Structure 1
Amino acid sequence: MNKVNKIIQLDSILLMLRNIPLAMVGLIVGGIITTIGIIAYPLNYAALNLGGLFYGVPILLGGLALKAAELKPIPYSEEPTPEIIALREEQATPTQDQVRQDVTRFRYGQEAHLDDSLKRVGLSPADDQRPDLVSIYETSVDGAYALVLQFYSPLVDFETWQKQQDKVTTFFGPDIKAEVSQPEEDRVDLALIKC
């Protein structure tokens, strides 16, 4: 098995694990332990009853709290090809990898994906005007790896995105060039291109 196939398999496994919501794990485990504790009470199994209630209820409540603060992963609009995955492994910067991994997993305690980043680069004047990240894809731009973030942006016009392009480039760090495009009305694609 060659290196690219191993990388694709590992990437698939990691993507699968990132798609398991921690809130759901807390709800299931907490629910099972609490149920065991409740069933153990009338059967006079004091240790199971106490353990089930003292451990199960807090885990269950923690799962409920996480569920309330859960932010779902952003989907790929196009699945990466083996060639793009190989290009990513060869060229992707740590920032590109971090952004891709952060937006494709469950997050907790955030209002939206990249909300803080958009605020820092001047693309989110207020929470109710923030562009929403709706999907991502990976591609090659003139032989360079690019991570493309697709935003629904009805309240921040394309001219504002263009004005902030240099600031976005600086924010996402060295070895990255940001390019914005508007493939359709109310949608802006932000490409983070390895340079």
Structure 2
Amino acid sequence: GVLVILGMTLITFINPMTQIFRGYDTVRKTDLSKLKAAFESYYEDKGCYPPIEMLQNCGGTDLAPYMDKIPCDPSTGEAYELFYHPVGETCSQRFVIYTTLANVFDPAGKEIPYCDNTYAVKSSDVTEAIVITGCSGRQLCSRLYGCVSGQCQLIAEDSFPVCYPSYCDDNTCNNKCSNPSYECVSQ
């Protein structure tokens, strides 16, 4: 009897929290979708994406007329995370906007390697490597080279290596290709 009461109490406590987390995550995803649309409209008019400071002014009207009010995270009240590539450009041509999902079981939070519980929207020409760099801080190479048949060759662009060893942005493969033991082998 005691276990049944304890079990029912636990289910009653956990289930509403799960529903609250799902609700927050639905708002987050909707917010990011609206931000993406506003960013794209801004880009069409200005030829750049909005300055990073605009998104940081969560609750503000900096994106008007593209968006009445810049949304804030529904749980924390904080601004959503914005990443521009390349970093530091004054006229950004690529963006990614991130949020952390509260529901750790949401499959959308598992789509970005190295960035657990992260959901993102992005401009159309942003690669997976850029998305991962923005949320994980990992520097992925724009070009990977490897020794193929004794020659240093491009093996991947803006993605993960397809064989090992590989060399980040080094089109000489560190002058290792004359040695067969450095041949790039699929893993």
Q: TM-score, normalised by structure 2?
A: 0.31
Higher helix share: 1
Higher strand share: 1
Larger relative contact order (Cα-Cα within 8 Å, sequence gap ≥ 6): 1
